[in-house]
Amino acid sequence: MIMKYNEDKILKEIGDYIKDTYGQHYAQVKEGVQVQDLLRSCGIDKDFCQANAIKYLARFGKKDGRNRKDLLKAVHYIVLLMSSEDESNAKSKSK
């Protein structure tokens, strides 16, 4: 199926961006634990992700040459938020 707005290409770009973040120096802490894991264990990851998504969306268009990157970062935080929500829903269903 041809996607009118190139969603397939955009989703691939998002996937590639997220994969690249795993190789960056700040993505992993000691023993494979990421900051997101620590935030999740404290129960503050959803607020953190939502706030960061809003931050990058609010910053969009204000820094020359960074607009695409700001959108990718916002989407990445939304994906992390969705992952946390999925985990919460799975836990509540198993009770």
pLDDT, one tens digit per residue, over 41-87 is 999 999 999 999 999 999 999 988 899 999 999 999 999 999 999 99
pTM of the model: 0.88
Q: What angle do CA 43, 36, 34 make, to 5 degrees?
A: 135
Rounded Cα–Cα distance for residues 77 and 61 (Å): 18
* C-alpha 50: how far from chain center: 10
Rounded Cα–Cα distance for residues 80 and 84 (Å): 6
pLDDT, one tens digit per residue, over 14-33 is 999 999 988 776 666 667 78
